[in-house]
Structure 1
Amino acid sequence: MTPRDASEPNNRWTDLDRPPLNATALRKALVLEGGLWSEVRVVQRTGSTNSDLVARAAEGLAVEGEVLIAEEQTAGRGRLDRQWTAPPRSGLFFSVLLRPTDVPVSHWGWLPLLTGVAVATGLSRAAGVDTALKWPNDLLVTVGGEERKAGGILAERAADDGVVIGVGLNVTLREKELPVPTAGSLALAGAANTDRDPLLRAVLRSLEEWYRRWRTAGGDPASSGLQETYAAGCATLGRVVRAELPGDRTIIGEAVAVDGDGRLVLATEEGVQEPVGAGDIVHLRGV
């Protein structure tokens, strides 16, 4: 077989250090009878896997457990509509559709935190790298003694009864490819394994395990063990942080807990404990 011109974008031969995902093998490993994952699709390029899966759900085309993975995203999004860009095949960019209809909607806010725990657990097993969680949705690794963001999570409602959760994770991104100096990747953090196929399988199996545990507990974060596990892996707790809230409001305080609603509780200098449910968190220093 003669490969196509390696200068072509999305050509599987453009970067031999970054082989394409094996969609057939992923389906065989993950789509199992009685399992959560119902379909695994890999596309070469799209704007946003979250947008695509939300649209499929709205049209009634997607069932719970569908997984959509892109080798490259051209319009990947994070919280607050921030862009997420990375070279083709340099990371894991995927979205899943969940329909936890047996869990009260009031508990659905735990899903992005649950996903963070699942991703960190899966990466610890498969990549041999410690991943810390920055509230509410960032995945941190240590590069040269510095905390850097290697990934993020975005949850969006889909139709009336579903949630699409997107994960973007830098795997083999090199220093010169980083979008900002504060970004990182598993490779830069010294991961023992950067093969995306087993990493993705480990993350999705971990997500299925935590999702089932949470649903079995009726979405209760305490009895499912989710609240305690999240707190144990959260790098935000015990830090002095600045919370930049909607309406240009700012709070500075020590992050002392994650409450039963998944909110970050800040203890301010005025002696007030204030829960924060949404906003941008900036780590200022340790306590």
Structure 2
Amino acid sequence: MLDAGRLRAKLVDSGPYAALDVVEVTGSTNTDLTAAAASGAADRTVLIAEEQRSGRGRMQRDWVSPRGCGLNVSVLLRPRVDPAVLALLPLVAGVALAETVDRATGVRAALKWPNDLLLGEEQRKAAGILAEATAGPDGVAVVLGMGVNVHHRAEQLPTGAGGLPATSLVEEGADVDREAFAVELLLAFAEFEDAWRSAGGDLERTGLLDRYQRWCATIGQAVRVELGGDEQLHGTAVGVDAGGRLVVRTSDGGLTPVSAGDVVHLRRA
């Protein structure tokens, strides 16, 4: 089991976080921290669960992780920025996640817009990110959750979102200490989120937009974007704009920014 005392020593006592707890099992770390936010929990409170039984991903997909296999972590944030830019936080977390995996494991990492971590030559899904805003007496808070498949073996892996094949760090050949990985990831996220917050939520000023685009495997792909109902957008993903939107060039040459949707990679354009 992850040692809460050692994690607090590195991330709270001599680190950037206000509080940290590790629980053996929960339904959802995001749900738990949302309740804590309503009770006045401090900015940069961290909750980690050894086992998560009813976690959520985007589009209300389930994210379940057996005990001791994954890193299921949520962070409560109270940034004093325009609420309109809070939707950029998953991109900030994505950069922290991809760069931590690359630095700590050497496994080939990439990001699928907006919030999936892909690993290996086949770009299988190994992590997801979900940010949820909640309003309270102290203003708007955001609970940002990251679920990473670390020690999952093939038979323990969940089905990837949208039919994406799933993988884990160990399945990609990485020997990972979950505690050390958690420390690296949370320190990287705190550094990037602090820069983003100091810039008033501006991804461009921090350089994080460029960094995100370098990791984003969606750029350059022929894609189908499922927008809800029967509505779809087909084209080539050509970039991510300052608002975090995926920019798609359609067959008529027009550029369409997409703020929300389920993206399917079709082939390299």
TM range (shorter): over 0.9
CA displacement at 1:127 relative to structure 2: 2.3
Amino acid at match of 1:157: A
Q: What are the equivalent positions in structure 2 for 1:88-99 lying under 5 Å apart?
A: 88-99=67-78
Whether 1:187 aligns to 2:179 is no
Higher percent of residues as helix: 2
How do residues 1-287 of structure 1 correspond to structure 2 at under 5 angstroms?
Answer: 20-32=1-13, 35-60=15-40, 62-101=41-80, 103-142=81-120, 145-159=121-135, 160-180=139-159, 182-191=165-174, 193-287=175-269
The size of the alignment, in residue pairs, is: 262
Q: Provide the TM-score with structure 1 as the length reference.
A: 0.88
Measure, in 2, the Cα distance between the counterparts of 1:96 and 1:182. 27
The normalised TM-score by structure 2 is 0.94
* Amino acid in structure 2 at the alignment position of 1:214: W
Contact 1:132–1:141 (8 Å) recurs in 2: yes
Query: d(CA) in 2 for partners of 1:240 and 1:32?
Result: 47
Deviations 1:193-234 (A, max 9, x none): 311000000000000110111122221111100110000000
**Structure 2 segments unaligned to the other structure (5+ residues):** none
Kindly indicate which of the two structures has a greater share of residues assigned to strand.
2
- In the TM superposition, structure 1's runs of 4+ consecutive aligned residues that sit over 4 Å from their partners are none
Structure 1: state its 5+ residue gaps. 1-19
The RMSD of aligned alpha carbons is 1.3
Q: Are the equivalent residues in 2 in contact too, given 1:126–1:198 (CA < 8 A)?
A: no
Note if contact 1:127-1:199 (Cα within 8 Å) is conserved in structure 2. Answer: no
Q: Which has the larger radius of gyration?
A: 1
Q: Percent identity?
A: 50
1:164 is matched by which residue type in structure 2? Answer: V
For residues 10 and 101 of structure 2, what CA distance do their matches in structure 1 show? 17
Report if the CA contact (8 A) 2:25-2:49 is conserved: yes
Helix, strand or coil at the partner of 2:247 = strand
Contact map agreement 1:123 1:202 (CA 8 A) in 2: no
